[in-house]
Structure 1
Amino acid sequence: MLQAPQRTALSGPALVRLLARLADVDVPEFRQSLSDRLSDWLGWTDAIALSSALTGAPLAVPAGARAFGSAEEAECARVRASLVKTIAGDSMFAADKRRRFVHVAQQRASAEMQAAPAVPVDYAQFRQRYVALQQSMETGVGNLRGRLRALLAAKSPAMGRLAVLDAVMERALSERERNLLATVPVLLAGHFERLRDAARQAQAVEQTADDAAQAARAEEGAKIASLTVHSAAAAQAADAAKASPKHAQLVAPGAWLDVFRKDMQSVLLAELDVRLQPVEGLLAALRTR
């Protein structure tokens, strides 16, 4: 018997692994070295700037410069927590509290479900919100990174060189990073459509099963009524046919949209972790004695 090949476990940032899972694709491990990859991303002007940062005279430490301490640590934690809170508390990710599991056998509940407004299925509003949150992350992380570089430059000439190097790398790679992260909402659009299509197919199958069950009950009720001599018995049979439960199951209209909201929120948090990696590097340098 042929067996499907096992998908290899993907290493790397959580953002990459999460997007690979949501897109249901097998991403091969990247074999190219970091230096080779950077050579593809950096131009000759970037190389000159990097060379100057690495070989130039170290910057003098300004007198009376502010030192890194617990207050600065707390400010970094505050910025991170603020961005996480912005993502976690965004109204776009709030599930519809009116949506509840209801038993379709209850005629009243079924009627209310049918009368309820349709779940919005336009991805454009999600894309717009994702891009807005990306801009908030870029601004917040960029400002924090600049402040940490200033603190690093005030620590020692060697640390000042590292601050200059980080600034050069940010300028050289920011456009590439922005273009790559701009593809994330595009990948999420495919995930959105797959969830929506699967939900529609499931609803169609369920509706077909319900229609078949209802037709069978109606036919059975008609047979019982035709064989019953007494009108009271016929009425009881008809009432039983009307009251008999439909295809017994629990239905959650729009549940797929709640799944997508949760996935989109997880992707945003994973992207925030990626954006904060340079900040973590600067913090590690500042914590050295």
Structure 2
Amino acid sequence: MPKAATQAPPAPASLVQVLSDLGLNARRAPKKSFADRLAELIDLSGAIDLSEFLRSLGRIPAQALEADEATDGPGALLQGRRRDMLRTISDSFAPAQGGEPAPAGSFFLPSAKPATLKADAEAWAPYQRFYSLQQSELERQVTLLRRALRQQLAVAGPALAQLAALDATLEGTLADYARRGLAVLPGLLQKRFVTLAGEQRAADAAAGHSSEPGTWLEEGGWLQRFHRDMQRVLVAEVSLRLQPLQGMLDALESVKEDAP
């Protein structure tokens, strides 16, 4: 029985770079200024609160942190949760790499079947569900982490408390924007799925016989390559989702450095 390839987790890379490597560049919207893009994101109902927050941030000087607050707690929290997210992603790909069936409704990859090679809507549907489930879980984990970090920032001095309050005001709007933006990824991955399956069908036709699903998961097999590509996109998506949280940590470090 063919042995499925065992893969190491892909190295982190930017989402734009990963999509470019895979030939999956999304169509770019016309460039707009930061102010224009921010204005589109902010609901009028929150404009007054946001304006007050931005004005108050400019009036509050950096202050020294208390000894028990000047720790790497928030940074350790972010890195620990990031490792957990990446481990969950890696584990979700392991069953398919070992040729084991995936439990129904789980975060595990669908099992390879002869019909998978058709790469039609029915063949793609399980992978669409898999990626969408992963995105939902990432969003949930990032939301919990964001709120935990805000709690730590809220007690790290007036300036950072204001930053935490600003983040709370924008959280829902920015999360919706990210959700809509990242929703294009499954569609881009479907194009990659169709391309690789088409290459395998052409190879089968040239060989004069059909390949077995087990061989698709061997090193270099079309489905093994697709799994690897999808994992790379997920890892890059984690980094993208965590960027705003890293920004909050950078603000905390800046206050620490400015403290006398």
The answer, yes or no, to whether TM exceeds 0.5 is yes
Instruction: Kindly state the Cα deviation for residue 24 of structure 1 after the two structures are TM-superposed.
Output: 4.5
2:46 corresponds in structure 1 to 46
Cα 1:123/1:68, change in 2 over 3 Å = farther
Equivalent in the alignment of 1:126:
127
2:223 to 257, 271, 284: 257
1:179 aligns with 2:180: yes
Unmatched 5+ stretches in structure 1: 1-12, 99-115, 209-251
SS, match of residue 147 in structure 1: helix
The structure that has the greater radius of gyration is 1
Give yes or no for contact 2:74–2:152 (8 Å, CA) kept in 1. no
Q: Is the 8 A contact 1:152 1:163 kept in 2?
A: yes
Give the whole-Å Cα distance in 1 for the aligned partners of 2:190 and 2:136. Answer: 19
Aligned-pair distance for 1:53?
1.8
Partner residue, 2:189: 188
The CA RMSD measured in Å over matched residues stands at 3.2
Runs of 4+ in 1 over 4 A off after TM superposition: 23-30, 56-59
Amino acid at match of 2:215: P
After superposition, the C-alpha distances for 1:112-137 in whole angstroms (9 at most, x for unaligned) are xxxx9737442222221211111221
Q: Compared with structure 1, are the counterparts of its residues 53 and 68 closer, same or farther at alpha carbon in structure 2 (3 Å cutoff)?
A: same
Instruction: Map 1:161-240; keep pairs closer than 5 Å.
Output: 161-207=162-208
Structure of higher RCO (CA pairs closer than 8 Å, 6+ residues apart): 2
Secondary structure at 2:136's aligned position in 1?
helix
Partner of 1:152: 153
**Preserved CA contact (<8 Å) 1:23 1:187:** no
The alignment partner of 2:50 has SS state of helix
- How many angstroms apart in 1 are the aligned matches of 2:73 and 2:227? 35
Deviations 1:54-88 (A, max 9, x none): 235999xxxx9x73524443332211100010111
The whole-number CA distance in structure 2 between the counterparts of 1:264 and 1:117 is 18
Checking the alignment, whether the CA contact within 8 Å between 1:23 and 1:190 is kept in structure 2 is no
SS in 2 for 1:278: helix
**Cα contact 2:42–2:170 (8 A) shared by 1:** no
Tell me the TM-score normalized by structure 2.
0.71
**How far did residue 281 of structure 1 move?**
1.0
- In structure 2, the partner of 1:272 is 238
Amino acid at match of 1:258: Q
Match of 1:105 in 2: none
In 2 relative to 1, CA 141–200 (structure 1 residues): closer, same or farther, beyond 3 Å? Answer: same
Q: How big is the shift at 1:258?
A: 0.4
Q: Is the 8 A contact 1:42 1:172 kept in 2?
A: yes
Where structure 2 has 5 or more consecutive residues not aligned to the other structure, the ranges are 1-12, 61-65, 101-111, 118-122
CA deviation after TM superposition for structure 1 residue 178, in Å: 0.9
Determine the C-alpha separation between the residues in 1 that align with 2:16 and 2:92: 23
Q: Summarize deviations over 1:178-218 as a string: whole Å, max 9, x none.
A: 1111221111111111111121012112228xxxxxxxxxx
- Contact in 2 for aligned 1:127/1:185 (Cα 8 Å): yes
1:245-273 deviations in Å (ceiling 9; x for gaps): xxxxxxx9321000000000000000000
Q: 1:65-144 alignment to 2 at 5 Å?
A: 67=69, 69-91=71-93, 94-96=96-98, 118=114, 120-121=116-117, 122-144=123-145
Partner residue in 2 for 1:285 = 251
Percentage of pairs with the same residue:
32
The normalised TM-score by structure 1 is 0.64
In 1, Cα distance between equivalents of 2:158 and 2:86? 34
